[in-house]
Amino acid sequence: MKLPPSARFSTVCIHAGQEPDPGTGAIVTPIFQTSTYVQEELGKHKGYEYARTQNPTRAALEANIAAIERGKAAFAFASGMAAIDAISTFLRSGDHVVVTDNTYGGTFRLFDKVLTRYGLEFSYIDTSSADAIERSMRKNTKMVFVETPTNPVMRLTDISAAAAVAHRHDARLVVDNTFASPAVQQPIAFGADLVIHSTTKYLNGHSDSVGGVVVATRDDDVEWLTFIQNAAGAILGPLDSWLVLRGTKTLTVRMAQHNANGLALAEFLSTHPKVTRVLYPGLPAHPQHDLAKRQMNGFGGMLSFDVGTFELARCVCNRVRLMSLAESLGGVETLISHPATMTHASVPPERRREIGLTDSLVRISAGIEDPADLIDDLKQALG
């Protein structure tokens, strides 16, 4: 199998990094569940010495995701948070980072509760405004860390504009592309230097693995991440690498249905009398709908809606039958959650208020079921 350089996105997802196993011809990369590799004689081996450093299943996944995100190389980690932690090793004590104010709660917790202990400084700002990013840049700013769309209020950042500001100040632009997935958004094409994912979400897509990945574009970053992945050792195991690799093969078809279901639910909710606000970039009423059309290919499967009171939000979350009340997102099954008490409970209430994350907000990760069944479920839960 030879992947032509002109191969399109879905072909790349299925074939990049995938060579039939040279020993057996197995078409699917095997799970190399081993901790070490036999050496023929001293100093003579097949390129594999110890499985923290190299594992063929992980290497196949990394080559696959690097091609999907159009980066130079990818590095798979034990979770999305481990991937973000690996990114932080680019920084030194005294460095400053500009971060999307409405970043994932776990990212805020890592930055605010752990990394500030090592002399790193963070400014949380509304990165949907390039002017606000510009105003927050300091002499010691080394990184701009952006999440777009944000979780759960679905605010977008213009990636090209953010890259222009970061690069003018000699800083790296990092984009957490978890919410959109590379089928919907390609940050490197807009100037991002590093892309991270929680592979737990759309890349795996089946809610059966926890993992993370960093995609790099610069040679010096590739060299450093190769070093840090081995030095710190928070690698993705072979079984999880295999599960994510199986997931990326169907990314294009899954995302098409996630996009369709996300839009169908958003349109239904925006006509429901008990719903006061629907946050979905695919709706013309979304304040950044034009940017979404420019920057995204489809609008994703994530949406949030406000029902006015905490009581009603609780009622909806408890009354759904087909949807499951659970944290996480990006799987084939539809999940519903209450961000203020679940995913974003670690974000202080005043910060939640600032970003519009009310106690009456409900979030949905639209799966790939028949959308009519999902709408029926929401109808009965809201009724």
Give contact residues for ligand PLP (rule: CB under 6 A). Answer: 79-81, 104, 106-107, 147, 151, 176, 178-179, 198, 200, 210, 212
* Residues 54-70 as b or e (16 or more Cβ within 10 Å = b): bbbbbbbbbbbbbbbbb
Q: Report the residue number, 29 or 107, with the smaller CB distance to ligand PLP.
A: 107
Q: Measured from the CB of residue 1, what is the shortest distance to ligand PLP in angstroms? A: 31
CB of 265 to ligand PLP, least distance (A): 19
CB of 172 to ligand PLP, least distance (A): 17
Nearer to ligand PLP, 151 or 217 (CB): 151
Alpha helices in the chain (DSSP H): 9-15, 56-68, 80-88, 105-109, 130-136, 159-168, 219-232, 238-249, 251-270, 289-295, 310-319, 349-354, 371-382
Name which of 75 and 179 has its Cβ closer to ligand PLP. 179
Query: Whole-angstrom Cα distance, residue 17 to residue 106?
Result: 31
Which active-site residues does the annotation give? Answer: 52, 104, 176, 201
Give me the DSSP letters along 274-337: T--EEE-TTSTTSTTHHHHHHH-SS--SEEEEE-SSHHHHHHHHHH-SSSEE-S---SSS-EEE
| Residue 164: φ, ψ to 5° | -60, -45
Least separation, in Å, of the C-beta of 12 and ligand PLP?
Answer: 23
Of 76 and 228, nearer to ligand PLP (C-beta) is 76
Helix (H, G, I), strand (E, B) or coil at 150: coil
Measure the CA–CA gap between 299 and 293, rounded to whole angstroms.
8
Q: Is 194 helix (H, G, I), strand (E, B) or coil?
A: strand
CB of 22 to ligand PLP, least distance (A): 32
**Could you give the CA distance from residue 302 to residue 151 in angstroms, rounded to a whole number?**
9
Q: 52: closest CA among 69, 37, 35?
A: 35
- The smaller minimum CB distance to ligand PLP, of residues 178 and 288, is found at 178
Cα dist from 234 to 51, 68, 228, whole Å: 12, 22, 9
In the complex, minimum distance from the CB of residue 179 to ligand PLP, in angstroms, rounded to a whole number: 5
Nearer to ligand PLP, 200 or 288 (CB): 200
